Amino acid sequence: MGVWTHSDGATARESLLVRRLIDQGIRDPRVLAAFARVPRAFFIPEEYQTEAEADRPLDIGCGQTISQPYVVAAMTEALQLTGRERVLEVGTGSGYATAILAEMMPVSSTIRTIEIIPDLADRARRVLRELGYTNVEVRVGDGALGWPEAAPFDAILVSAAPREVPPALLDQLAVGGRLVLPVGPSPEQQELQLWRRVPSGTLEKRGLMQVRFVPLTGSSQRSIH
């Protein structure tokens, strides 16, 4: 868990964020509590600090964005975390969603997160460490390949959009596990999907909503972008 503390002003702003998420349909109390505890402003460049509580994506450099809080909340809620899962995140970006996931898991667990852009990975690693998140491991690499040596995972969250679901991520999904990711050929044609490996071992898919994410990049994606 993070060790940062709120000022009174920050407390008010985070409370407004939680109320907005409730109004938008987020119901999981653990998700809402995590959003109340994680300061989005820590994860964005200084020039965007005044927009930290805006419910929209913001530029974080390197052609990437920090996702809209509602979308992060909806994706996290769809994972149905109980605190006992092995969790993988693909697309660390700013580290904001990573912190949300870390807040929902015991400090004894490890959130594994992969970012293909070294500068973003270094920045996220530094911010997460400064905020006291000791249960996060950041790797630079191609997220579409997953993290084979730590698999299988009970929950996988992908914060960038492939054209098709990466087979490696499906292969690394445990029985009973959930994979939440945007899929589509362009930002205008993306669907947020929930994949679940049922006890028989087969996979079930459910569409959740239309979204707009940056594309998932890496050597394994070059042939389809």
**H-state helical runs in 52-171:** 69-79, 96-103, 118-130, 167-171
**CB contact at 8 A, 165 and 221:** no
Active-site position among 67, 186, 200, 223: 67
Say whether 161 sits in a helix, a strand or coil. Answer: strand
Catalytic-residue membership of 67? yes
Which of these, 206, 144, 182, 193, lies nearest to 68 by C-alpha position? 182
- 7 CB-near residues (< 8 Å, 6+ apart): none
Question: For the range 166-172, what are the long-range contacts, defined as Cβ-Cβ under 8 Å and sequence gap of 24 or more?
Answer: 166/216, 166/220, 168/144, 168/220, 169/90, 169/144, 170/195, 170/197, 170/203, 171/146, 172/88, 172/146, 172/147, 172/148
State the catalytic residues: 67
